[in-house]
Structure 1
Amino acid sequence: MLAELLPAQVFALLLIFTRMGTALMLMPGFGESYISMRIRLLLALLVSLVIHPAIAPSLPALPASPTGLLLLVFGEAFIGLFLGSVARILMAALSIGGMIIATVTGLANALTNDPTAAQQGSIAGSFLSTLALLIIIVLDLHHLLLRGVIDSYQLFVPGQPLLAGDMSLMISRVVSKAFLLGFQIASPFVAIGLIFNLGLGLLSRLMPQMQVFFIAIPLQILIGLAVLMIALPAVMGWFMTGFQEVTLPFVGPR
């Protein structure tokens, strides 16, 4: 009896770990490059062990052929990558908005390492991404991400054909929303920057002898920082609203 039960339980744990592990590799707060790969894998294994009793009864039986096993594992990995990519793509909105903000405020050449993107980025984008990640953890929205992966078994049933059309549509909508959200985040800075540049142009016409260039650069940065301080609550509110709109469809009713 035990010899028959053990392979089935190990197989169920493998399927759960495959989906959970690939999702955590990309999810904000879990899949950051500065978090050790071993820690991420251990976390995915622990979560898989916790949810195993609840998920295992809904999983298909152990396939008789290696091909069937590989297809199931690859399917679960693909679903996990899809779930992790949805949240990660939305985080790119902060990098897009931050780059526009840096360009408008004269900080386009001031690059720094963006820990959430694992590459160089603008100072504004790195600041917004780090702050958003902090807010996600403080508000327990990272639990919402985990719950979305767990509840995804009701939407993406293991062993069933993948909803490729719906998944492609979802990815395209998230990419579109990320660009729209990035421009929305940068909109106050673009408006103030336009007014500032028009004022400088008018000032240079009225007072040609004034060295507008030497006044404009520090004043542009100062105004940009002031606008950032004022608009930061609204900017984070826009992002958190978009974040919940993207993640909530994967969370089942309670």
Structure 2
Amino acid sequence: MNSLIFGLPDFFAPGVAAAFVLTALRVGGLLLVAPAWSAKSVPMRLRTALLVIFAVMLLPGALHSADRTQLAITPATFLTETAIGFALGFAAALVVAGAEFAGELATNTIGLSGVAIFDPINNTQSALLSSFMQLMMLTLLLMAGGHIIMLQAVARSFAVLPLGAPIAIDLGFMPLVKAGGTIFASGLQFASPVIAAVLLTNLALAILGRAAPQLQVMSLAFPLQIGVGLITFAGSLGLVVQALGDWQSSYSTTVESFVRAALLAPEPAGRR
């Protein structure tokens, strides 16, 4: 990262200690919800060590754009810096949540809602295909360097959202709330082939049952529904992976929307 070329600052200089704490809060907000970084399988001690290391690495860049004389640790700055990091991580979490929701829809549609497996990310029980989609999305994200991209987003955020600068967090989170709707939209889009295939299968079985009542249609319905659903799900994975491979553009769009809205904060009366 570009901030590393400046070297480590003097922590005893005026404003540096406050800048370090605020930088750590922004990084902590990211690690709170960002995919992979926020996994419960990551030990708390390791997460704390990463928080300190990343804060030290990003501190020179944060100081480069901040007004040291105005830096102070207050409830407002505490919440602001944490919210900025949270927004940067939440924008990436939306992509993973959309894939996970698609797996949940596919699981319920196929008829495997009663099958639960251990989720190594959240240390809980989750639906079969939901856990699969989550792990697949995390794999794609890590292969594309998503964990580094999110840290780079934090590093670049100091240039447009300096430490201690007044921003409109409430306005900034409005685009994130609207972007949350993409979880349901993308999930339904990814699961639509499975839903359509299972629906057509059930319709065909219903027509067959009415045309030939002597056939034991109900004994065939459940295994046929599972078979058709799993085959359709496997066949649509290529399209899902191709769509999820473009997650960086949606992530950038969400982050830019947050920054544009947050920068609409009016300046304090003393600075006008």
TM-score (norm 1): 0.87
The answer as to whether partners of 1:12 and 1:56 remain within 8 angstroms in 2 is yes
Distance 1:89 1:43, change over 3 A: same
Could you tell me which amino acid in structure 2 is paired with residue 248 of structure 1? S
Question: For residue 147 of structure 2, what is the aligned residue in structure 1?
Answer: 142
CA apart distance, 1:230: 1.1
Q: 1:168 aligns with which of 170, 173, 177?
A: 173
Question: For residue 48 of structure 1, what is the aligned residue in structure 2?
Answer: 55
Tell me, what secondary structure is at the counterpart of 2:68? coil
Query: Residues 181-214 of structure 1, C-alpha deviation per residue, up to 9 Å, x if partnerless?
Result: 0100111111111111111111111221111122
Q: 1:245 aligns with which of 225, 243, 249?
A: 249
Distance in 2, Cα, partners of 1:4 & 1:84: 28
Tell me, what secondary structure is at the counterpart of 1:182? helix
**Greater mean alpha carbon deviation, residues 154-163 or residues 219-228:** 154-163
Question: For residue 122 of structure 1, what is the aligned residue in structure 2?
Answer: 127
The answer as to whether partners of 2:24 and 2:52 remain within 8 angstroms in 1 is yes
The answer as to whether partners of 1:102 and 1:108 remain within 8 angstroms in 2 is yes
Question: For residue 14 of structure 1, what is the aligned residue in structure 2?
Answer: 21
The answer as to whether partners of 2:70 and 2:164 remain within 8 angstroms in 1 is no
Segments of 4+ in structure 1 off by > 6 A?
Answer: none
Tell me, what secondary structure is at the counterpart of 2:180? helix
Unpaired stretches in structure 2, ≥5 consecutive residues: 1-8, 260-272
Query: Residues 165-188 of structure 1, C-alpha deviation per residue, up to 9 Å, x if partnerless?
Result: 542322123211111101001111
Unpaired stretches in structure 1, ≥5 consecutive residues: none
Tell me, what secondary structure is at the counterpart of 1:25? helix
Distance in 2, Cα, partners of 1:146 & 1:57: 17
Distance 1:62 1:74, change over 3 A: farther
Structure 1 residue 96 corresponds to structure 2 residue 88: no
- Percent identical across equivalent pairs? 25
The answer as to whether partners of 1:104 and 1:189 remain within 8 angstroms in 2 is yes
Query: Residues 151-174 of structure 1, C-alpha deviation per residue, up to 9 Å, x if partnerless?
Result: 122332322222235423221232
CA apart distance, 1:58: 1.4
Distance in 2, Cα, partners of 1:53 & 1:63: 17
Distance 1:154 1:166, change over 3 A: farther
Distance 1:52 1:192, change over 3 A: same
Question: For residue 4 of structure 2, what is the aligned residue in structure 1?
Answer: none
Number of equivalent positions: 248
Tell me, what secondary structure is at the counterpart of 2:117? strand
Question: For residue 30 of structure 1, what is the aligned residue in structure 2?
Answer: 37
Distance in 2, Cα, partners of 1:20 & 1:201: 55
Distance 1:175 1:4, change over 3 A: closer
Q: How big is the alpha-carbon RMSD for the aligned residues of Structure 1 and Structure 2? A: 2.4
The answer as to whether partners of 2:33 and 2:89 remain within 8 angstroms in 1 is yes
Distance in 2, Cα, partners of 1:135 & 1:41: 25
Structure 1 residue 189 corresponds to structure 2 residue 194: yes
Distance in 2, Cα, partners of 1:142 & 1:17: 17
The answer as to whether partners of 1:19 and 1:80 remain within 8 angstroms in 2 is yes
CA apart distance, 1:99: 1.7
Tell me, what secondary structure is at the counterpart of 2:135? helix
Q: 1:59 aligns with which of 66, 70, 73?
A: 66
Distance in 2, Cα, partners of 1:240 & 1:4: 41
Pairs within 5 Å for 1:151-162: 151-162=156-167
**Greater mean alpha carbon deviation, residues 100-109 or residues 8-17:** 8-17
Question: For residue 218 of structure 1, what is the aligned residue in structure 2?
Answer: 223
Q: 1:227 aligns with which of 213, 224, 232?
A: 232
CA apart distance, 1:46: 1.2
